[in-house]
A and B are shown apart, each in its own frame.
Chain A
């Protein structure tokens, strides 16, 4: 077998039971993601993208279907095994950053390493500092989240997602709470990481953001209605520069 696909999903279906009714959240979704891809999952609310993300993130199990994450079959695993998979193979980035308050950036980034169960002795401090340097915040390691801007907080969260060296970076509306400029900066970071080989899956409802990825998967009513490559990927770094130029020009 060639290098394992990061995601190989076949016929994923999730049914929620609400009292007597059964709600079909996603239906027969099949999706392949190769290493090094950067994919945007789009869709209106209710389209099933959260459900899909929860299943792909191993936070939930599909009612039926088959899911291989980096070569490991995970759709039938128990709670604790899923926790292990999440720790080893997935890095989460959330819309609201979800950093621990009153805890330094360094310790926030260190957190996933504390749940490592492979029995290795890890230089957790060193690894956390490296991850912070990768997102350009090596000098803010001792700062509390409350002392950082929104963009910086999201960068700390990205460092936390990277620190375990996961197969897949899963970002749920990562720019949802950020202004245009900071959003572009975060996308610039994602593009840098992707150019470095990191596989990234971004769930978003903003078409602008999706244009910075390489592929767009669109959901509607729990099904994939569009799966296309991005013809001309925008470079976030350029757009950041343009924005700066515009703001300087507009200033009196």
Chain B
């Protein structure tokens, strides 16, 4: 029998029992719809995390202090901070693959100025910090290399800090006191929002790292060195270069492990994505169960159908159908049913995620791959659960099938 004829015959016999077919397909419809919806939610969450990670800056490489080992005992991460401002200088001088390097010296203090005071992080950074993190200014300018050399007392305020201290408007040109040292505000950063972990990126004051080191007293440490690669393709080789330069600068022998860690955003994103990925897998696994249950529904109805149509099968065999013709007919019926259910399920998935997005504000993402996968899975369910009933139909004896009451 020709394929077209097969599908037509299958379609017709499915349509003969509209109500039953619809109820049977409902399992697949719900299953596929649920899979699409769940994956959409998972992928949406993942996308959100990704966006947050990449809001840190493009092509960014983060160097953090690593662990040290003393007499064979690991002291754990950041046990002995060997990252220095000199490391950052050396990277800037020696590397070919980096567009910029900036140490990040972190301290926390009360900022006083304008309308009041605010406790926040102060980052001592190099002007490269702005380009590496791809952070625009809302007003004013960023401090430059001459400010670094002259250790000028200038700051750039994060949006949150600027809003708290100068709620009336332009902070540029105003004064802010950090640990009793007066600083002049030269610029205000654009808002970047929250990080993946939920901390406010705008709650920050940036100052030249030389100034922070020399003019501010108190506890401070070099939390990280940020570096930027020229392009995403070069990130990996840039990381290798950084490691080589730092190993030499730290005088590490070839058998000694690194005492620092070099990571790029992909690594950071990966870590953050792991959670959302697990969530996606879990959700879609639960949704898949309903797809399997839908498949069992199809098998059940196909078995009933084979019994009901025993005489028809006998007749077809008598008229010259071979076992394989009957097998194919029933298999096509169950696949047509499951794929049709799958298509409806896709429609429901789309509608469901649009509704969910509208009501909860959750981000949902449906990719063509998800839709295709769900449909293929639905078809596979049709084949898998349709095979046994079809096999049974094909193996009927024509004489007995014709005599069946």
Contact = CB atoms under 8 A, between A and B. Distances in A.
B104 interface: no
Interface string B2-29: 0001000100100010000000000000
Interface stretch (B64-72, B160-168, B247-255, B318-326): B318-326
A116 B317 CA distance: 12
Contacts of A92: 318-319
Given A80-B323, A94-B402, A98-B402, A111 B316 contact: yes
A80 B321 CA distance: 8
Nearest to B309: A100
A54 B399 contact: yes
B389 interface: no
A201 B180 CA distance: 118
B319 A112 contact: yes
A86 B318 contact: yes
Count chain B CB atoms within 10 A of each CB in A54, A98, A114 and give the residue with the most.
A114
Max chain A CB contacts within 10 Å: which of B5, B315, B320, B323? Answer: B320
B358 interface: no
Contact of A59 (B318, B322, B325): B318
Interface string B276-294: 0000000000000000000
A59 B173 CA distance: 102
Nearest to B5: A114
A56 B350 CA distance: 59
A83 interface: yes
Contacts of B311: 98
A76 to B, nearest CB: 18
Contact of B323 (A79, A117, A160): A79
Contacts of A54: 399
Contacts of A102: 16
Contact of B12 (A84, A103, A160): A103
Interface in B296-337: 311-312, 314-325
B1 interface: yes
A interface residue count range (under 10 / 10 to 19 / 20 to 34 / 35 or more): 20 to 34
Contacts of A87: 319-320
B55 to A, nearest CB: 62
A48 interface: no
Contacts of B402: 94, 98
B321 A59 contact: no
Contacts of A112: 319-320
A98 B322 contact: no
Contacts of A160: 319
A60 interface: yes
Contact of A115 (B312, B314, B320): B320
Of B9, B316, B318, B325, most A-chain CB atoms within 10 Å: B318
Contact of A84 (B317, B320, B323, B398): B320
A108 B321 CA distance: 14
Contacts of A57: 318
Contacts of A60: 399
Given A54-B399, A86-B318, A114 B1 contact: yes
- Shortest 5 CB-CB contacts between residues of A and residues of B: A87-B320, A115-B320, A112-B319, A83-B322, A98-B315
13 contacts: A83-B317, A83-B320, A84-B322, A86-B318, A87-B320, A88-B320, A98-B402, A100-B315, A111-B319, A114-B1, A115-B320, A117-B320, A160-B319
